[in-house]
Each structure stands twice: as structure tokens, then as C-alpha cells.
Amino acid sequence: MDAPTWPAEFAARYRAAGHWRGETFGGVLRERAAAHPDRIALVDPAPERRTWTYRELDERADRLAAGFLARGIAKGDRVVVQLPNTGEFLEVVFALFRIGALPVYALPAHRETEISHFCSFAEAVAYVVPDVHAGFDHRELAAKMRERTPGLRHVFVAGDPGGHTALSEVPCEPAGPFDGPEPHELAFLQLSGGTTGLSKLIPRTHDDYLYSLWGSNEICGVDEDTRFLVALPAAHNFPMSSPGWLGVLYAGGTVVLCPKPDPATAFPLIERERITMTGLVPPLALVWTEAAATAGHDLSSLELMLVGGAKYSEQAARRLEPALGCRLMQVFGMAEGLVNYTRLDDDTETVVTTQGRPISPDDEIRIVDDADRDVPEGEFGHLLTRGPYTIRGYWRAPDHNLRAFTEDGFYRTGDIVRRTPTGHLVVEGRAKDQINRGGEKIAPEEVENIILAHPSVHDVSVVSVPDEYLGERSLAYVILRADAEPLKPVAVKRFVRERGIAAYKVPDLVEFVDVFPQTGVGKISKKHLRSVAEQS
Ligand code: J2J
């Protein structure tokens, strides 16, 4: 088996409670297309405004699915999808959902290091890319991946294909019915933020994810009148599911894709498309809050703004509602499952000082000390969780799963939280070795391994340092070899960048030191390093 799943008695309980409804993504789109074929499902505003009705999206997914099948992509196959916020992204994933092939959601910022890992670890048969995005030619990267990954049989390009296959050539007439996935089967592989080296893959089923969608829709008030702006990268779990574009399509609303999340791009779209809801990470929420007063755009259609992905400061949270003229909802979620929201009827204090409470009455929450003993109510500790949409294990990672999950199936989130008397969680910090750079997660070990490959470097430790705008930035402490020529910080950064890695993982700061602070057992103390960094 590729990943542990819910024990039978839990699955039966979640079905009996009505959480798992026995639907699939492909089936849901089909039903919505039958119920309201001519309603607009999707708007891609750039470079020319394109729209898809529910019927068009459904037909398009069918034709693409037929084309993928004809090229030998089958149920259970993995397909790395790296597309920006464009209509093709949704067409491709719905086509794959229909076949039961599993999208592996790469982010547009990912480069050689990450993509190579996804292609080889997931044993992907296909890789879907744009031609050129944000000045980067994805076709060249794709060519390298094909050379390096023998099982990678296809590269599909949205746009000019170069030497690969144009996505526009793929669709064809469906040749007849085929076996799609069952509701309890996997729908896709989402990415973990990662703590130990490269990202783990998160196996999500149709049943469990769809439950998190309709639970989110209820809480956020999503319905067919919702017009949702996808401002963050559509492949990220937050804009996909909380309630995200998948939640909005589930409810029969309209999804509008935003090519870039800056106010200059987003505000005119909000005005023109009469956007009612969107979601942002805290640094962007800050920028929008500051820009709203002078932007000169009518944002009055906006009813709800979700902010999550990283800690949102109370002061910033207090300023959002008056500046943007909409409700704020904080969301504390994770691609592994558990999602918490403040509620529409929570008072302002709760909305600005907490990160919300779980979606489901069947989300089990434990807050424990280092020895896994429950802490007294109201005190802070490690957050463990188990429930109807939280995975029981990562994909093909049995050793890691032993550490990341308790024996009875609770996921160790790595977050330090406390619970208020109303059941809301407050995120106090993090125990996992991860940097949260404005919502973008960095596994220090992944960056350390790259820097260690530099011939002049003896040792390295990457830690987070506080940052007013991003919350955290990354700092690499580097010990050079005794015989090495001195290096400049910029040379280390260039070395990392040239290795091919997402730009947000390149260390913001580099400092050369002679020794790291040590703990009693001789291991580098990240906690200590962080406090040294904070004082300097
Ligand atoms: C503090 N830390 C937070 C918050 C996430 C909705 C929203 C976010 C994500 C996400 C998501 C936080 N305050 N409000 O998938 O559906 C940190 C925690 C958490 C980790 C998960 C969703 N919201 N975090 O951010 O998988 O440390 O999901 O464990 O990217 O982000 O990261 P990720």
C-alpha cells in the first residue's frame, strides 16, 4: 500500500455521520454542469478575458481526459502539474480527476531540485507546464526532466510547445465510458511544507477532501452567488480548499483567477468581476490593507477576506476590516488536513486574536507536552490531530510516518498552540524545523544540503529570523573550510540559486561563523541559533 489510510471503523463512522458522501470531483462537476449548464464557472482574465460555463468546463475535462487516456495515462498514474493561475490548470486537473490519474501539485516557483524530486519520487508519467512563466522557460526544465527520469513519457505544454506536446493538441472525442475513481480512492498528491529535506507527498481522497470543502463552504457562506478571486497560487492547498476554487465550484459559484496577487493586478479585477471573497497570506493582507485607501478602486463587492498560512499579527488583523470594508476570517490550516476558521458570528476580539476552531465536530484535537501527555486546559503545547479529512500517513514514507503520526493515528502538526475557553486555537509557535516565510514553507535541511555541496563550505545551519513584513526570513550560518578562500554572502546565494531551487528558498541572509552553538548532545541547537539571530 502506498499510504496508511483510515481504519475501517473510522471510515464507517465518517460515512455514517454524513461527512463522506460518496462523491468524486469528476462526478461533482458533472452534476453541477447538468444542474446549471450555462452558469459561469471560471474566469481567466489575462491576457484576454476567457470564461467557461459549467457545461464547457465539464466538456473540456471530458475531452482532455479522453486525450490523456489515448496517450496511455491511466488510473492511478501520477502527473506533475506545474501551471500558474490559468484556465488550463483547472481543465487539466479535472481531466485527471475524471480518469483517476493523480495530479502532483507543483508550485510555479519550483525549479529543478523540487521538480526532479516530484518526477522521480512520484514515478510520474507526465509533466504539465506553461511555456514561459515569470521569465522562466519551463520547456527547458521539462527537457532535462525527461532526460533524467526514464518513466516520464510525456511533457504537455500550455502555449508554445517547443519540442514537446502542445496541451491544445491533446483533447479528443471520448471513446466511451471508462472506469473513474471511487470516492474512497486518492484524488491527488498535495505537497507538505517539509521539515526533513524534500517535500513529502500528501495523499488526499475524494471523500475526505470533498468533506473539507463543503464544511468550509458552510462556515464561509459560499453559495452559487460567491465570486471568488484566486489570488495565491492555485496549486496551494489554502486557495484550493479553504474554501478555495474547489469549494466554490462545489457550491456552483464563480472562480476568477488572478495572475498576480499585488493590488495593482487584483483591485481592478475585484471591481470589474464584482469579487465577493478571496484569501491571502498575512504579508499580502498587509499590503492590501495599506493600498486600499489610495487605490481608487471600488472594492465594495468584497464581503469576506480569509487570511492564513502564517501567523497574522493582531495589530494587522485589526486594521483589515475598516480598510477593506469586508469581514475578516482567520484560517489556520495544513495540506495534511485539519483546517480551523474563525466564524462569521465570532466577535471582533476572537477574530483578531485567534486562528479559529476546527471545521468538523469529529476533528479530534490534543494539545500535549514533550512526552505526549495532555497539558492542562488553556496551556500551550504540541498540537496533535485526527479526523475525517486529516491523513493517516504520507505517501510512500513509512519511516517518516512513524515520527509524524502517533501510534493511534494522530498527526503531529509541529505547531505549538493553546485553546481558548470557546475552543478557538491560538498558534503560539512551532516545534518543527521549518521556516514560514510569509506563508511559504522552507525545510532548512533542503537548503542546507545544497549549501553543503559548495566546495568551500564545511558546515551550515539555516534558521529563521523575525521579519516585520514576512514574519520570518531565512538566515544561513556558514562555516567555511579551514583552507577555503573567504566567500561573500552573495556568492552563497548565487550558488543556491544556480542549483535550481524555488527562489523563496534562497537564504535571505548569509553569515559566516567559526562555530555553531551546541546543545548537550552536540547537535546544532536551532532554537539557540534563532535566539542568537534575534538578538543580533
Ligand atoms: C499560523 N500558522 C499557520 C495561521 C497555517 C488553509 C490555510 C493555510 C494552509 C497552509 C492550508 C496558519 N497561523 N493562520 O493548507 O487549507 C502554518 C502552520 C501549519 C502550516 C501548514 C489551508 N496557517 N500555518 O498554510 O500545508 O505551521 O497549509 O502547520 O502550507 O502553516 O502549511 P501548509
Q: Which helix (DSSP H) or strand (DSSP E) does residue 479 occupy?
A: strand 471-480
- The closest-lying atom of ligand 1 relative to the alpha carbon of residue 191 is 26
DSSP SS3 for 42: strand
How much distance in Å is there from the Cα of 337 to the middle of ligand 1?
Answer: 10
How much distance in Å is there from the Cα of 195 to the middle of ligand 1?
Answer: 14
How much distance in Å is there from the Cα of 441 to the middle of ligand 1?
Answer: 9
User: Considering the domain boundaries, does residue 66 fall inside one?
Assistant: no
> φ and ψ at 443, to 5 degrees?
-90, 110
Q: Return the best residue to mutate from 202, 212, 334, 427 for the ligand 1 pocket (most ligand atoms within 8 A of CB).
A: 334
pLDDT (tens, 9 = 90+) of the chain, 536 residues, equals: 899 999 999 999 999 999 999 999 999 999 999 999 999 999 999 999 999 999 999 999 999 999 999 999 999 999 999 999 999 999 999 999 999 999 999 999 999 999 999 999 999 999 999 999 999 999 999 999 999 999 999 999 999 999 999 999 999 999 888 889 999 999 999 999 877 778 999 999 999 999 999 999 999 999 999 999 999 999 999 999 999 999 999 999 999 999 999 999 999 999 999 999 999 999 999 999 999 988 899 999 999 999 999 999 999 999 999 999 999 999 999 999 999 999 999 999 999 999 999 999 999 999 999 999 999 999 999 999 999 999 999 999 999 999 999 999 999 999 999 999 999 999 999 999 999 999 999 999 999 999 999 999 999 999 999 999 999 999 999 999 999 999 999 999 999 999 999 999 999 999 999 988 665 555 566 666 666 776 66
Q: Are 474 and 503 in contact (CB under 8 A)?
A: no
User: Considering the domain boundaries, does residue 270 fall inside one?
Assistant: no
Which residues constitute the domain of residue 498?
Answer: 435-535
Any ligand 1 atom below 6 A from CB of 5: no
- The closest-lying atom of ligand 1 relative to the alpha carbon of residue 190 is 26
> What is the distance between the alpha carbons of residues 532 and 536, in angstroms, rounded to a whole number?
6
User: Considering the domain boundaries, does residue 492 fall inside one?
Assistant: yes
Any ligand 1 atom below 6 A from CB of 164: no
Any ligand 1 atom below 6 A from CB of 383: no
pLDDT at 534: 67
The structural domain count of the chain equals 1
> What is the distance between the alpha carbons of residues 337 and 330, in angstroms, rounded to a whole number?
16
How much distance in Å is there from the Cα of 332 to the middle of ligand 1?
Answer: 5
pLDDT at 518: 66
pLDDT at 27: 97
User: How buried is 85 (Cβ within 10 angstroms: 0-12 exposed, 13-18 middle, 19+ buried)?
Assistant: buried
User: Considering the domain boundaries, does residue 420 fall inside one?
Assistant: no
> φ and ψ at 386, to 5 degrees?
-150, 145
Type of residue numbered 27 = G
Closest by CA to 413, choosing from 454, 353, 365, is 365
User: Considering the domain boundaries, does residue 485 fall inside one?
Assistant: yes
Any ligand 1 atom below 6 A from CB of 241: yes
C-alpha cell at 281: 497570506
Q: CA of 230: how far to CAs of 50, 73, 330, 439, in Å? A: 15, 29, 17, 16
User: Considering the domain boundaries, does residue 342 fall inside one?
Assistant: no
Pairing of strands 50-53, 40-44: antiparallel
pLDDT at 525: 65
User: Considering the domain boundaries, does residue 484 fall inside one?
Assistant: yes
DSSP SS3 for 427: strand
> What is the distance between the alpha carbons of residues 158 and 153, in angstroms, rounded to a whole number?
17
User: Considering the domain boundaries, does residue 346 fall inside one?
Assistant: no
Provide the CATH number for the domain around residue 465. 3.30.300.30
